[in-house]
């Protein structure tokens, strides 16, 4: 009787392990939208990212974007592979505690040309989420602001600025650029203005002081 | 006919108006009688019920019975009707998307937030003949790429949003960032 129960227990454990492994290796059903050439390659990239503890959802979304836009297989694979590499670099720059949305935003910033050291410095100076600072950095570069100017601007504000302050800062820069200001000058002017606003806001928020 | 009644009433009134003298020991005698009744305890039943409920008892349960009770609890917990209902994650915010497409018959909002599925978020006209199309989506903090798909064939970026820098697929996309503070 004891042997019987032991064998039954071993069988159940083995079945559970096999089922769990099979479930873990089952490709994301959303990847069915990819063609038969692209799907296994993307699935392998997603599995590799998962094994490296990187977020896989951005990779799936990038592949689905390509499929919806009817991109060729090689373009989709190249995009997903590039994003996976960027996510790995982002993890290296931000450290193991970075959240998946932070890593996604950091990958976009790296792709835009932001130095990895800037990301690491951002992590050091800002305790709040880095999603918006990284997004603002990326958007500024996309607006034509030189990477060095954009990075310096975001770093100077990141420690104390709220997300809304940073978004307003980005809007101010884009507005000035649209009005004809050189991107670097627009950024410098907006930083000065935003710093005043942020400091004023910090003073107002401080409790128990006039 | 009325005279005798009036006389009767007058006599009754006279009797009622006559001063009555009360024995000074009446109060003491009444209270003594009251004291003989058993005291009524306020909340006595509730106290007894509480004692019954809190009295320790020994329950004998076989291992199989214990497992059955645990399984019943698990089934009840897993079979909650709201288990599969969508709860709003923390920090979720609604975002409005607007695009002007005067000659469009259909416009879809597609992006990282809906698996780039054109059928998932069809946009609505702002009026019957209006050329403005709108959609509202709840988004959790993060950075999302998206675009508008017009009539199922034409891709439009959002002119009011930052452009996605990496357009590997040859069509424009935009970016929306949802922050938490």
Distance of CA B63 to the CA centre of its chain: 39
B7 within some domain: no
Interface A-B: count of C-beta contacts within 8 A: 101
* Full domain range(s) for residue B117: 93-178
B39 within some domain: no
Q: What Å distances lie between residue A179 and A174, A176, A186, B174, CA to CA?
A: 9, 5, 10, 21
Cβ atoms of residues A172 and A204 within 8 Å: no
First-residue to last-residue Cα distance in chain A: 80
Q: What Å distances lie between residue A77 and A196, B162, B169, CA to CA?
A: 46, 25, 11
Residue B150: per-residue pLDDT = 96
Question: Which residue ranges of chain A lie beneath pLDDT 70?
Answer: 1-25, 198-210
* Bridge partner list, B178: B142
How many structural domains comprise chain B? Answer: 1
Q: What phi and psi values does residue A86 have, to the nearest 5 degrees?
A: -60, -40
Residue B24: per-residue pLDDT = 72
Q: Which of A55, A62, A68 to mutate to test the interface with B (most CBs of B within 10 A)?
A: A68
Residues 37-96, chain A: which have Cβ within 8 Å of B?
Answer: 58, 60-61, 64-69, 71, 75-76, 78-79, 82
The CATH number that applies at residue B113 is 2.60.40.10
Residue A118: per-residue pLDDT = 96
Residue B83: per-residue pLDDT = 34
Residue B70: per-residue pLDDT = 74
Residue B73: per-residue pLDDT = 61
Q: What is the mean pLDDT of residues B102-127?
A: 94
B157 within some domain: yes
The residue written with tokens 């996605």 in the block is B164
> Nearest C-alpha of chain A: how many angstroms from B176?
9
The two structure tokens encoding residue B54: 């809190």
Q: Taking all residues of chain B, what is their mean pLDDT, rounded to a whole number? A: 80
Task: Find the CB nearest A108 among B117, B143, B178.
Answer: B143
* Residues B27-48 pLDDT 10s: 788 788 877 776 655 556 777 8
B101 within some domain: yes
At B80, the pLDDT band (50, 70, 90 cuts) reads very low
Q: What is the mean pLDDT of residues B66-75?
A: 69
Measured distance CA(A169)–CA(A121) in Å, rounded: 20
Residue A48: per-residue pLDDT = 96
How many helices (H) and strands (E) chain B has is answered by 4, 7
B115 within some domain: yes
Residue B90: per-residue pLDDT = 65
Q: What is the mean pLDDT of residues B7-33?
A: 78
* Residues B85-107 pLDDT 10s: 334 566 788 999 999 999 999 99
Residue B129: per-residue pLDDT = 74
Q: Is the pLDDT of residue B5 over 90?
A: no
At B77, the pLDDT band (50, 70, 90 cuts) reads very low
Please state the domain extents for chain A: 1-96, 100-210
Q: Is the four-CA dihedral B142, B145, B151, B156 of positive or negative sign?
A: positive
Residue B43: per-residue pLDDT = 59
């Amino acid at each position: 009787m004891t042997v019987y129960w032991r064998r039954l227990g071993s069988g159940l454990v083995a079945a559970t392990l096999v089922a769990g492994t099979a479930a873990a290796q089952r490709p994301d059903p959303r990847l069915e939208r990819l063609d038969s050439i692209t799907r296994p390659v993307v699935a392998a990239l997603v599995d590799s990212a998962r094994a490296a503890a990187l977020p896989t959802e951005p990779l799936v979304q990038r592949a689905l974007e390509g499929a919806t836009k009817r991109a060729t297989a090689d373009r989709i694979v190249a995009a997903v592979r590039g994003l996976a590499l960027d996510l790995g670099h982002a993890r290296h720059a931000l450290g193991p505690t970075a959240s998946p949305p932070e890593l996604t935003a950091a990958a976009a910033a790296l792709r835009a040309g932001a130095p990895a050291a800037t990301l690491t410095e951002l992590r050091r100076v800002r305790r709040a989420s880095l999603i918006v600072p990284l997004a603002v950095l990326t958007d500024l570069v996309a607006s034509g602001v030189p990477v060095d100017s954009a990075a310096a601007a975001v770093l100077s504000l990141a420690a104390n600025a709220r997300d809304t302050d940073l978004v307003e800062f980005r809007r101010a820069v884009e507005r000035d650029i649209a009005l004809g200001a050189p991107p670097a000058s627009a950024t410098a002017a907006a930083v000065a203005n935003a710093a005043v606003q942020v400091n004023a806001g910090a003073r107002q928020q401080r409790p128990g002081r006039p | 006919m009325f005279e005798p009644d009036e006389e009767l009433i007058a006599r009754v009134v006279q009797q009622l108006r006559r001063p009555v003298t009360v024995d000074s020991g009446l109060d003491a005698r009444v209270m003594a009688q009251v004291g003989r009744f058993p005291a009524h305890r306020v909340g006595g039943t509730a106290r007894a019920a509480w004692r019954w409920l809190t009295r320790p008892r020994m329950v004998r349960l076989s291992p199989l019975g214990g497992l059955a009770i645990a399984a019943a609890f698990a089934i009840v917990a897993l079979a909650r009707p709201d288990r599969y209902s969508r709860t709003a994650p923390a920090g979720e915010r609604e975002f409005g998307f607007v695009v002007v497409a005067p000659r469009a018959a259909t416009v879809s909002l597609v992006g990282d937030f809906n698996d780039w599925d054109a059928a998932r978020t069809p946009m609505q006209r702002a009026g019957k003949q209006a050329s403005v199309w709108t959609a509202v989506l709840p988004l959790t903090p993060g950075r999302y790429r998206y675009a508008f798909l017009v009539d199922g064939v034409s891709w439009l970026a959002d002119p009011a949003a930052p452009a996605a820098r990496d357009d590997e697929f040859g069509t424009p996309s935009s970016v929306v960032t949802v922050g938490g503070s």
